Amino acid sequence: MLGLRSSFRSSLQAMKSQSRLISASAVSAKSTYRTPDFGDYIKEKQDADKSRSYAYFMVGSLGLLSSAGAKSTVETFITTMSASADVLAMAKVEVNLAAIPEGKNVVVKWQGKPVFIRHRTQSEIDEANSVEMSALKDPQTDADRVKNPEWLIMLGICTHLGCVPIGESGDFGGWFCPCHGSHYDISGRIRKGPAPLNLEIPEYEFDDQKLIVG
Partner 1 sequence: MAFSTIYNVFFKRNSVFVGTVFAASFVFQAAFDSSVTSWYEAHNKGKLWKDVKLKLGESGDDEDDDDE
Q: What is the closest distance, in whole angstroms, from the C-beta atom of residue 88 to partner 1 in the complex?
A: 13
Question: Which of 7, 58, 60, 180 lies at the binding interface for partner 1 (CB under 8 A)?
Answer: 60
Tell whether the torsion through CA atoms of 140, 141, 147 and 153 is positive or negative: positive
Instruction: Confirm or reject binding of residue 49 to partner 1 (CB under 8 A).
Output: yes
User: How many residues comprise the chain?
Assistant: 214
The smaller minimum CB distance to partner 1, of residues 69 and 196, is found at 69
Known catalytic residue: 160? no
CB of residue 101 to partner 1, shortest distance in Å: 32
Beta bridge partners of 85: none
What phi, psi does 167 have (nearest 5°)?
-80, 160
Paired strand residues for 76: none
Q: Which is nearer to partner 1, 73 or 122 (CB)?
A: 73
Closer CB to partner 1, 58 or 87, in the complex: 58
Backbone torsions φ then ψ of 21, nearest 5 degrees: -100, -40
The residue within the footprint of partner 1, chosen from 6, 8, 58, 71 (CB under 8 A), is 71
Applying CB under 8 A, among 58, 68, 83, 91 the residue interacting with partner 1 is: 68
Q: Return the sign of the alpha-carbon dihedral for residues 127, 176, 137, 106.
A: negative
| Residue 86 CB, nearest approach to partner 1 (Å) | 14
Contact status: 50 vs partner 1 (CB under 8 A): yes
Rg of the chain (C-alpha set): 40
